[in-house]
Structure 1
């Protein structure tokens, strides 16, 4: 291999090695996990459980920061404005994802965020007062 090729390889590969070394140290400070709903609800419980597991696995603090309001758009907007350094994540529900498609919004869900993973599924249950004589949705409609 010629000297020029070796030098070119060193020049090209050195920054990549430095970037890989830097990535190995992530995170080197606490990570903020914005939750786009109020504290105490299902999304908050999921976020706190997720953060606790990340704390154990990574050895760094993942701090839950509840920012509810606007159907999840408040938390999403705060996350959008954060520096793009990997130290702010946002846990969104489907409503925060759908919000900019239905209403004017400062964020564009497809441009401003990259989905990493679905971390849970939460089914919704339809319930009625026990005095309602319905055991199915059809019976409820007929009532």
Structure 2
């Protein structure tokens, strides 16, 4: 049976139209010419943040490997919500990526978001990890975690812990730690991570569970004493500080992580190519050295591994927020 001429013409027009949609063009890119133009890596935080520093390290080498510029675009505001929403709304064609820390998941636990951190993003690869380190003022009468816990329990609610602010990442991480330690420290929110650390240096707050990159120099200089660090292994810059597991608390292993994401629906071949290329960047000796200097370590892995991490984090932080009655300002 012959197709009427008008139907054949309509079919041809339909095929031509379909070939110009973003999805079709992205599929064409998978045939071998991706990327064919400049790529953008969204960072939902200000220049100079750890996430921004990592993005610039990775983007420079990734640009060299892909043969196209990879531009870092800072979109700060609302604890990362503005940049994340922009990345979620971008075309799923492989030309917009986002590098994000755990707040990518935590925000959705604390607030109603215009996006879903799981459904609206395709994980690519975990770029890096960083331990948190529990530190006290150099004059604190404790030299290890066991002694510190005894001291904190004796102090009751006179003992305090600092954070970067109400419902901040450090607030949630320390609330989770306090559940395990069985202490009753009062929360003292500060203005940002540097302020929280300085509160302990000045001995106005008892402890802070600090990001490694912010605390390591003060530990080495003797201004702070490190009791234990999170993570499954010791950070290379402070090898004498035990992990919580080594100090007898195997249930404490949370760490900061930094993941690369694409808008949901990005063609799988493009996602796979970016995973391979970023993994190659992370394996470069000079990149490993730069990451360590910045207080982080390269990770890598598959998209499925990052997806599993995100699901696990969502369940964990939902429980922590509920148990501690934490609410955003």
- TM-score bracket for this pair, using the shorter chain length: 0.7 to 0.9
Question: Residue 4 of structure 1 corresponds to which residue in structure 2?
Answer: none
Question: Residue 163 of structure 2 corresponds to which residue in structure 1?
Answer: none
Question: Residue 135 of structure 1 corresponds to which residue in structure 2?
Answer: 143
Give 5+ residue unaligned stretches, structure 2: 1-18, 20-24, 152-329
Please, which of 112, 122, 126 is the counterpart of residue 114 of structure 1? 122
Please, which of 16, 27, 33 is the counterpart of residue 25 of structure 1? 33
1:33–1:19 distance in 2 versus 1, CA, 3 Å: closer
Question: Residue 82 of structure 1 corresponds to which residue in structure 2?
Answer: 90
Whether 2:133 is the aligned partner of 1:125: answer yes
CA distance in 1, matches of 2:82, 2:26: 33
Query: CA RMSD of the aligned region, Å?
Result: 2.1
Using the size of structure 2 for normalisation, the TM-score is 0.36
Q: How many residues align?
A: 127
Whether 2:77 is the aligned partner of 1:69: answer yes
Whether 2:104 is the aligned partner of 1:91: answer no
Give 5+ residue unaligned stretches, structure 1: 1-14
* More strand as a share of residues: 2
- Partner-residue secondary structure (3-state), 2:82: helix
1:34–1:125 distance in 2 versus 1, CA, 3 Å: same
- Partner-residue secondary structure (3-state), 2:130: coil
- Partner-residue secondary structure (3-state), 2:42: strand
User: More deviation in 45-54 or 64-73?
Assistant: 64-73
Whether 2:29 is the aligned partner of 1:38: answer no
Greater RCO (Cα-Cα under 8 Å, separation 6 or more): 2
C-alpha displacement of 1:20: 6.5
1:28–1:120 distance in 2 versus 1, CA, 3 Å: same
